Chain A
Amino acid sequence: MFIHYLTIAWRNLLRHKANSVINITGLAIGIAACLLIFRVVRFELGHDTFHKNYKQLYRVVKHDAYPDGLVYEEGMPGPVTAAMRVDFPQISAISEVFSSYGSQITIPSGTQAPKKFTESSGVLFIDTSFFHMFTTKWLSGNASVLAQPGKVVLDKEHAERYFGQWQEATGKTITMDNQIPLMVAGVIENQPLSTDIPLSVLVSFSTLPPYGNRYNYTQRWQHSTSNHQIFVLLPSAVTPASINKQFTSFTRKYYDEEVAAKKTFFLQPLKDLHFDTRFGNMGDHTTSRTTLLTLALIGGFVVMMAAINFINLCTAQAATRAKEIGVRKVLGGRRQQIIFQVLSETAIVVSLALLLASGIAFVAKPSLSLLSSVPAAVALFSKDAFLFLLATGVAVTLLAGLYPAFILSGFAPVEALKNKIYQKGGARISLRRVLVVTQFAISQVLIIGTIIAVKQMNYIRQADLGFNKDAILLLDNITDSTSLPKVATLQQQLQQVSGVKAVSFCSDPPSSSNDWSSNFYFNHAAKDESFDIFLKIADTAYFNTYGLQLIAGRSFTASDTTREVVVNEMLCNKLGIREAKDILGKDIRLGGKWYPITGVVKDFKASSLREEVRPIALFSRKEFYGTIGVKLSGAGLSTSLAAIKEIWERTYPDYVYNPSFLDEKIANFYQQETQLAVLYKLFAGIAIFISCLGVYGLISFLAIQKTKEVGIRKTLGASAASIVVLFSREFTLLVVAAFVIATPIGWWLMSHWLQGFVYRIPMEITIFLLAIAISLLIAWITVSYKAIKASLANPVKSLQNN
């Protein structure tokens, strides 16, 4: 019996070739897109779930209250760990980690030149209790090896990178930042990729304090850096709320009353580490649950559209099969048998689509890492992916198959044989209309989303940052005491390279993710101001190199120490000073000393455009120049670059040369948004394509049904154009109906998305008009193609057909 159904299903597929292709490709593309999204969402949601104590692990975080809001921070002051160990005996384990990004690891290799590696994803100073809390697998050694200073543990990948084979690693000595000798004491298995606490190079925590200055690790309660984080493991009897409560007395104990009142420590569950965008983590990104939900929704939408196509085409075809069903019933086919037949035919088509979808997804998988944060090494197919495919297959089969199955099996045989069911099709046609409108509406929402996302990203890219980011090469500068004397020569040499317009030594470029801030006093006030000031420490060439504009006064005088300060407009605003020149000559206290303000610089965007302009102080101080900015003219770029590299490596032979371009770094701030914009474009494209297929399929069916009508009309003298109008009128109405639904949804969704940006484009009516114009155009093109074919057909032929 089943074989018989298979044959019939297969012949039906072949007989309606065009329809089958539309059906299967449309569905396959939808499912493939959804499978990829499923992979992304699963990857993001799966972060750190492999830790056995996942539900009991927390990170200690804090927020400080400022007049203009709360500032959240995951970094903890140095002494907190020890204090907590005393004050919170009920916590089963407390662990601190300190990460150093961009550290250099040197591997001596006998007589040859040593191998040098820059670890941009972080070297971790870590204590032994970490391993009692988090799940790791030891290949060699165990946690206790990290109890002593001067020990390092590598993950398998790094052990192999450094020594070829991980078995070779143990016992070898490596050097961190040309300063700290470390003995390899163990090797651990590579961590899963979906983690926000990546473990690669792990140095015993007790190694850190003697080098505290170098890494900005102190035992001061006032000082914190996001590199220092504290994790705790709660026994099941202890609630995080009880710990949070106790933190109130904890902060009172260690801070002045006034400071303690503004400072709130609390526990953040490990399960939020990846999703709470108020905080950073040690991995490479956080993803808000909203973004994931948006993605899942888009995926759901796309599959829904594909399923709608499928349902539409199946029911449309069903009507043409009335006679077959009638005959089957006359010959004794039972209702359940007919339902089973239609369902199994649907299942066959769905299976073909699933197969094709897996193929498409497999081919598209490598591009996934460009569009999302999923590393290329994450496999597409896994048990959960198969379950997902199976579930989707069953759902689509039932959704798309049950309806036609019930309709078809319900035909009374006598009437089915007479083909009377056509006349009763009214209700079904209106259901089909509803489905088509849903499809158009979904694709219009996606079109609106795409237009807005793309416009916003273009706006950001072209926005006036207040400084010039183009053609600036960024290099590291080494600021330890042995390297500092080389700076002057290095600057001279770099300036002499042809194609170099300016060279500036500074803490960081005008726009960077570096958040160095401090409290400050103004105009000899006894109390510090209520907000912090952000610091850019640079030489005088900074203004010229980055094209900063002074709007009042002058730059600070060139010096290796701090003598004068330049501030920005925003600081004036925040201090309530209207005219920039009025601040000139006033004094500002940073750290322990008062400095005169000599100039005011026009505001520039110091961080991403998601945030407001910050109050900034610029001043000189040689020890903090960790970055070299080289402004290039653009001509003869490659020779300039080669010369610069040569000079840098000659100056700092022990270090790795890590050049980067500022505009690329700035583009990275918006990586997620850019990816999202690309994703929107892609999915809008897919959605449009699928709805085109749907329209095309429906119109083909309509054309078959109307062949006779068109034939008669033509015999009576109708023109081809009037027949195209006949076909397109209905679809135009459907597009307009969809627009009425899509506009408010699109508006609501996208205004939410734009809230995330301080600098954003307005929502213009033209965007919405463009969306409807696009979908009308597409519908018309699709309809016209089919309608013109129908209208050009020989009327005699189409009449004979019946």
Chain B
Amino acid sequence: MIKITDLEKVYRTEEVETVALNKLSFEVKHGEFVAVMGPSGCGKSTLLNILGLLDDPDAGSFLFNDIEVAHFNERKRADLRKHNIGFVFQSFNLIDELTVFENAELPLIYTGVKAAERKKRVEEVLEKVQIMHRRNHYPQQLSGGQQQRVAVARAVVNKPKLILADEPTGNLDSSNGNEVMQLLTELNEQGTTIIMVTHSEHDARYSHRIIRMLDGQTVTENIMI
């Protein structure tokens, strides 16, 4: 599903040039659950942003379902993204002015789904993450774990083929964290490909494979049994 070859990303500021990704290459197959690990600053988030089509690489090739997307413009990226990719962030990134229901509904609005269908699908996912009873609450009224469950619901409501999660448990205590990991595992079992950045060896154990990075390069790939 994803194949990157010699991917490069360089951040230039006035004084310094940071090589965030240095000729990075790997492949992720349909249905895989991959964890990305590495020390702080090694380029994990940068990688995820590029995989999520939020950012473009400076060099290298990025095949998404066998289509070269490295050179896509913003509009094409947005279109590809909204139909295929769901995101889960460490800091949840829910919109404060919208209710739980409306937050989860947002991706469907952008893909132009009809209101009745939206209602059905949002209720379905909220049910799945067990937050239906809080559907009319605002994010500030929820605990961290609940907020992240809403974020997961939002990420999957469009039935994306790929979910990118950047330290999804980073702001959660262990029991809330486990709940979220459980959810991701279920989604993966139902066929969704998942790429997750994490600092936790514990969380990484939920995945099939760990890609370890250092200074913008992959160092090892462990296969989990």
* A residues at B contact (CB < 8 Å): 1, 4, 7-8, 11-12, 15, 323-324, 326-335, 337, 412-414, 417
Which residues B206-221 have CB closer than 8 A to chain A? none
Give B91 Cβ to nearest chain A Cβ, in Å.
Answer: 8
Q: Tell me if B95 and A332 are in contact (CB < 8 A).
A: no
Partner of A417, one of B75, B81, B93, B97: B93
Interface string of B22-64 (1 = CB under 8 A from A): 0000000000000000000000000001001011000000000
Please name the 5 residue pairs, one residue from A and one from B, whose CB atoms are nearest each other, closest first: A332-B82, A332-B110, A11-B97, A331-B107, A324-B95
With a 10 A CB-CB cut-off, give which of A8, A329, A412, A413 has the most chain B CB atoms: A413
Give B17 Cβ to nearest chain A Cβ, in Å.
Answer: 18
Q: Tell me if A8 and B98 are in contact (CB < 8 A).
A: yes
Partner of A331, one of B74, B102, B110: B110
Interface string of B197-210 (1 = CB under 8 A from A): 00000000000000
Partner of A413, one of B54, B75, B106: B54
**Is there a chain A Cβ closer than 8 Å to B186's Cβ?**
no
Can you name 22 A-B pairs with beta carbons within 8 Å?
A: A11-B97, A15-B97, A326-B93, A327-B93, A327-B95, A327-B106, A328-B106, A329-B54, A329-B78, A330-B81, A330-B93, A331-B82, A331-B87, A331-B107, A331-B154, A332-B79, A332-B83, A332-B111, A333-B110, A412-B55, A413-B54, A414-B54
Using known A-B contacts A331-B82, A414-B49, A414-B54, determine if residue A337 contacts B110 with beta carbons closer than 8 Å.
Answer: yes
Q: B74: nearest residue on chain A (CB-CB)?
A: A335
A15 to B139, CA, bound (A): 14
Q: Which residues from B are CB-within-8-Å of A327?
A: 93-95, 106
Q: Which residues from A are CB-within-8-Å of B81?
A: 330, 332
Q: Which residues from B are CB-within-8-Å of A323?
A: 93, 95
Q: A327: nearest residue on chain B (CB-CB)?
A: B93
Which residues B78-133 have CB closer than 8 A to chain A? 78-79, 81-83, 87, 89, 91, 93-98, 102, 106-107, 109-111
Q: Tell me if B55 and A332 are in contact (CB < 8 A).
A: no
Interface residues on B, range: 20 to 34
Q: Tell me if B97 and A332 are in contact (CB < 8 A).
A: no
Partner of A330, one of B54, B97, B102: B54
Q: Tell me if B75 and A334 are in contact (CB < 8 A).
A: yes
Give A470 Cβ to nearest chain B Cβ, in Å.
Answer: 66
A417 to B88, CA, bound (A): 13
Q: Which residues from A are CB-within-8-Å of B87?
A: 330-331
Q: Which residues from B are CB-within-8-Å of A337?
A: 110
Supplied contacts A335-B75, A417-B89, 17 more A-B pairs, CB within 8 Å: A4-B102, A4-B109, A324-B96, A324-B97, A327-B93, A327-B95, A327-B106, A330-B54, A331-B82, A331-B107, A331-B110, A331-B154, A332-B111, A333-B78, A334-B78, A413-B54, A417-B93
Q: Which residues from A are CB-within-8-Å of B82?
A: 331-332
A332 to B74, CA, bound (A): 10
Using known A-B contacts A8-B98, A15-B97, A326-B93, determine if residue A332 contacts B107 with beta carbons closer than 8 Å.
Answer: yes
Q: Which residues from B are CB-within-8-Å of A334?
A: 75, 78
A417 to B49, CA, bound (A): 12
A242 to B110, CA, bound (A): 71
Q: B46: nearest residue on chain A (CB-CB)?
A: A414
Give A623 Cβ to nearest chain B Cβ, in Å.
Answer: 85
Give A452 Cβ to nearest chain B Cβ, in Å.
Answer: 49
Q: Which residues from B are CB-within-8-Å of A413?
A: 54
Q: Which residues from B are CB-within-8-Å of A1?
A: 109
Q: Which residues from B are CB-within-8-Å of A414?
A: 49, 54-55
Q: Which residues from A are CB-within-8-Å of B55?
A: 412, 414
A4 to B93, CA, bound (A): 19
With a 10 A CB-CB cut-off, give which of B75, B79, B87, B106 has the most chain A CB atoms: B106
Q: Which residues from A are CB-within-8-Å of B106?
A: 327-328, 331
A412 to B49, CA, bound (A): 11
Q: Which residues from B are CB-within-8-Å of A15?
A: 97
Interface string of B145-189 (1 = CB under 8 A from A): 000000000100000000000000000000000000000000000
Give B40 Cβ to nearest chain A Cβ, in Å.
Answer: 15
Q: Which residues from A are CB-within-8-Å of B107?
A: 331-332
A335 to B79, CA, bound (A): 12
Give A771 Cβ to nearest chain B Cβ, in Å.
Answer: 42
A310 to B27, CA, bound (A): 51
Q: A7: nearest residue on chain B (CB-CB)?
A: B102
Give B73 Cβ to nearest chain A Cβ, in Å.
Answer: 11
Q: B105: nearest residue on chain A (CB-CB)?
A: A4
A4 to B118, CA, bound (A): 13
Partner of A332, one of B49, B78, B89: B78
A324 to B94, CA, bound (A): 8
A781 to B102, CA, bound (A): 42
A465 to B183, CA, bound (A): 94
Q: Which residues from A are CB-within-8-Å of B74?
A: 335
Q: Which residues from A are CB-within-8-Å of B109?
A: 1, 4
Give B9 Cβ to nearest chain A Cβ, in Å.
Answer: 11
A413 to B85, CA, bound (A): 15
Using known A-B contacts A333-B110, A413-B54, determine if residue A8 contacts B97 with beta carbons closer than 8 Å.
Answer: yes
Q: A12: nearest residue on chain B (CB-CB)?
A: B97
A328 to B109, CA, bound (A): 11
A330 to B98, CA, bound (A): 16
Q: Which residues from A are CB-within-8-Å of B89?
A: 417
Q: A4: nearest residue on chain B (CB-CB)?
A: B109
Give A800 Cβ to nearest chain B Cβ, in Å.
Answer: 14
Q: Which residues from A are CB-within-8-Å of B95?
A: 323-324, 327-328
A414 to B74, CA, bound (A): 13
Give A594 Cβ to nearest chain B Cβ, in Å.
Answer: 94
Q: Which residues from A are CB-within-8-Å of B52?
A: 330
Q: B55: nearest residue on chain A (CB-CB)?
A: A414
A7 to B106, CA, bound (A): 13
A330 to B109, CA, bound (A): 13
A7 to B97, CA, bound (A): 9
Give A367 Cβ to nearest chain B Cβ, in Å.
Answer: 41
A324 to B95, CA, bound (A): 6
A735 to B110, CA, bound (A): 46
A331 to B154, CA, bound (A): 9
Q: Which residues from B are CB-within-8-Å of A330?
A: 52, 54, 81, 87, 93
Q: Which residues from B are CB-within-8-Å of A329?
A: 54, 78
A335 to B73, CA, bound (A): 12
Give A259 Cβ to nearest chain B Cβ, in Å.
Answer: 83
Q: Which residues from B are CB-within-8-Å of A412?
A: 55
A328 to B110, CA, bound (A): 9
A412 to B55, CA, bound (A): 8
A323 to B78, CA, bound (A): 17
A11 to B89, CA, bound (A): 25
Give B164 Cβ to nearest chain A Cβ, in Å.
Answer: 10
Q: Which residues from B are CB-within-8-Å of A417?
A: 89, 91, 93
A8 to B107, CA, bound (A): 15
Give A318 Cβ to nearest chain B Cβ, in Å.
Answer: 14
Q: Which residues from B are CB-within-8-Å of A11?
A: 97-98
A331 to B97, CA, bound (A): 16
Q: Which residues from A are CB-within-8-Å of B110?
A: 328, 331-333, 337
Q: A336: nearest residue on chain B (CB-CB)?
A: B75
A332 to B54, CA, bound (A): 10
Q: Which residues from B are CB-within-8-Å of A333?
A: 78, 110
Give B12 Cβ to nearest chain A Cβ, in Å.
Answer: 15
Give A317 Cβ to nearest chain B Cβ, in Å.
Answer: 12
Q: Which residues from B are CB-within-8-Å of A328?
A: 95, 106, 110
Give A326 Cβ to nearest chain B Cβ, in Å.
Answer: 7
A323 to B98, CA, bound (A): 13
Q: Which residues from B are CB-within-8-Å of A332?
A: 78-79, 81-83, 107, 110-111
Give B64 Cβ to nearest chain A Cβ, in Å.
Answer: 15
Give A323 Cβ to nearest chain B Cβ, in Å.
Answer: 7
Give A409 Cβ to nearest chain B Cβ, in Å.
Answer: 10
Give A339 Cβ to nearest chain B Cβ, in Å.
Answer: 13
Give B95 Cβ to nearest chain A Cβ, in Å.
Answer: 5
Give B53 Cβ to nearest chain A Cβ, in Å.
Answer: 10
Q: Which residues from A are CB-within-8-Å of B54?
A: 329-330, 413-414
